[in-house]
Structure 1
Amino acid sequence: MDSLFKALADPTRRALLDSLRAKPGQSLSELQGQLEMSRFGVMKHLGVLEEAKLIVTHKKGRFKYHYLNALPLQEAIDRWVEPLLEQPAARAVINLKTQLEGTSKMSKPDFMMQTYIHCTQDALWRALTDPEANAAYNFVAGSCVREGNKLILKFEDGSPMLILTETKLTPKTRIESTFEPHWAGPNVPLEHSRFIYLIEPQGENCMLTVEHYDIPAGQEGVAEGWHRTIAGLKTWLETGQSVRFAHGEMAG
């Protein structure tokens, strides 16, 4: 526990952790480019973080990629905050956060896309979180409803097509969600994955990035679905028209 608090005490190391939380799987060169520090200096800070188990690394070829490991922080929370968590819902949220941040961040995005949309940051945020908006630009959904932190997209017959559960929101800039497909029917369970929306204002435009992680085998077709959905989103925000781009069959 001493090594944990020692690692967190330095602002440079906290900045490195923030960077790895925002973008998992960065190399030493990528991290050094964000700091006014020598390569050796960044390596020393990364060594302290690795010793504290706050980061884990994955070596591929001659490159080493760094990832945030939230488990030591979770253990510290459990040690001092656990007695205060009397509500089951609070425990469930922390367990989910641990699962998503502690295990899924071991991989790089399986799919990533980026586009520029002529709209305000507020308008894009509303479009991504409002159920009626989601139904207007999604390429296959007939309707969409919100139940708490869940967006449930449905087919024309009212059966669920896709459930998106928001696990972490940074207002107007970042949305982390699980991705729960139901397009194969109620009796054909499909594995879940997760994705992230990143919003960055660019003058009178916004840059939207989609990162999709842990896509199960057999669901590679979600990449095509993303292209069609985001194309519909861009058209809807820029023209006000609801356009559905070719109802293709999504992989199950």
Structure 2
Amino acid sequence: MSPPRALARDISFDVERQSLTCNHLAAYSIFVDYVFRALSDPSRRRLLDDLNRRNGQTLGELCAGLAMTRQSVSKHLAILAAANLISTTKHGREKLHYLNAAPINAIADRWLSQYDRQRAKALADLKTALEQSPMDNNGTDEDFVYITYIKTTPEKLWQALTEPAFIKQYWGIELISDWKVDSTIDWHVAGVVISDPEQVVLVADKPHRLSFTWHTVSEEFGKAINADPQEVADMAAEKRSTATFELEQQGDVVKLTLIHTGFPADSELRAGVSQGWQPILSSLKTLLETGQALPTE
């Protein structure tokens, strides 16, 4: 049997756009089994709960809440990672662990709600819990992480992330920059140009890693997207967040990891971007794989 990550690549997460073919159904079924098996263990569910409360924890921090050895916790984390329920990233000498709700989203969206709604509701509640903005008692920053697999090349994906005409097809906006470190980025959104010297490129390691600070939330921006004035004011008062894209070649697909960081507890902006990133990245995937982006509202 193929390992679960290979299965994820085989089906290429076509469930995001509800279009599994017969050739992929067997692989998809096996992958679903891996996800549910990973969720069946109470210790692994506890680890997901811990990451839901505070994302981006080290192995030592995750061990603190469990009565088991570091080796046992590492094995549980490996199973969750194999099922694509968590991801890891290096931060200096430390490895940080992040929750990834994409597999549960995909399973629930694909077919669960079509059957027994009472039983489906239990998993829908789990899906909602994983998507909700995490909160911890210390008020520390909470990160949003999303992973998808795209049948493309790192070079083509980098182009899609940095070329204004390409970005507009799947996102509906334009980002204007020379994409050099410390260069500014102008955001063209709904007829409004958002320029700010703090909107800058932080990392530009083509075609592996791209990181930049988020745009300023202005009153003009809020009016352009018909947002509630109080919500706009709340978002504008938050410190500036950072979006990072990590591109990793895996066979004939690219693993794209988005890590959006710098949100305070109860962040209004995080609530917005967590709802926005999934359709944006699904549209990006569809565009690169089919040549046509998903329709925008």
The secondary structure found in structure 2 opposite 1:112 is: strand
Q: 1:228 to 1:214 in 2, by over 3 A?
A: same
Among 153, 166, 170, the alignment partner of 1:133 is 166
Structure 1 position 228, deviation (Å): 1.7
* Counterpart Cα distance in 2 of 1:161 and 1:233: 24
Partner in structure 1 of residue 258 of structure 2 = 210
Partner in structure 2 of residue 77 of structure 1 = none
The structure with more helix, counted as a fraction of residues: 2
Aligned 8 A contact 1:108 1:213 in 2: yes
The secondary structure found in structure 2 opposite 1:159 is: strand
Q: 1:193 to 1:130 in 2, by over 3 A?
A: same
Q: Does residue 26 of structure 1 match 2:61?
A: no
The secondary structure found in structure 2 opposite 1:209 is: strand
Equivalent AA in structure 1 for residue 268 of structure 2: G
Q: Does residue 112 of structure 1 match 2:145?
A: yes
Q: TM-score, normalised by structure 2?
A: 0.44
The secondary structure found in structure 2 opposite 1:150 is: coil
Aligned 8 A contact 2:154 2:207 in 1: yes
Structure 1 position 164, deviation (Å): 5.3
* Counterpart Cα distance in 2 of 1:229 and 1:184: 23
Q: Does residue 146 of structure 1 match 2:197?
A: no
Partner in structure 1 of residue 247 of structure 2 = 199
Structure 1 position 180, deviation (Å): 1.8
Aligned 8 A contact 1:175 1:198 in 2: yes
Q: How many residues align?
A: 155
Which stretch has the larger CA shift, 165-174 or 184-193? 184-193
Aligned 8 A contact 2:192 2:220 in 1: no
The secondary structure found in structure 1 opposite 2:268 is: coil
Q: 1:119 to 1:134 in 2, by over 3 A?
A: same
Among 199, 208, 220, the alignment partner of 1:185 is 220
Structure 1 position 205, deviation (Å): 0.7
Partner in structure 2 of residue 165 of structure 1 = 200
The secondary structure found in structure 2 opposite 1:135 is: helix
Partner in structure 1 of residue 294 of structure 2 = 243
Once the two structures are superposed, residues 146-184 of structure 1 have per-residue CA deviations (whole angstroms, 9 ceiling, x without a partner) of 256333331342433999521112221111211124364
Equivalent AA in structure 1 for residue 261 of structure 2: Y
Among 282, 286, 293, the alignment partner of 1:231 is 282
Q: Which runs of 5+ in 2 are unaligned?
A: 1-55, 63-69, 71-89, 94-139, 223-232
Among 210, 216, 237, the alignment partner of 1:175 is 210
Equivalent AA in structure 2 for residue 218 of structure 1: E
Q: TM-score, normalised by structure 1?
A: 0.50
Structure 1 position 128, deviation (Å): 1.1
Q: 1:169 to 1:25 in 2, by over 3 A?
A: farther
| Larger Rg over CA atoms | 1
Q: 1:146 to 1:170 in 2, by over 3 A?
A: closer
* Counterpart Cα distance in 1 of 2:158 and 2:261: 21
* Counterpart Cα distance in 2 of 1:234 and 1:244: 13
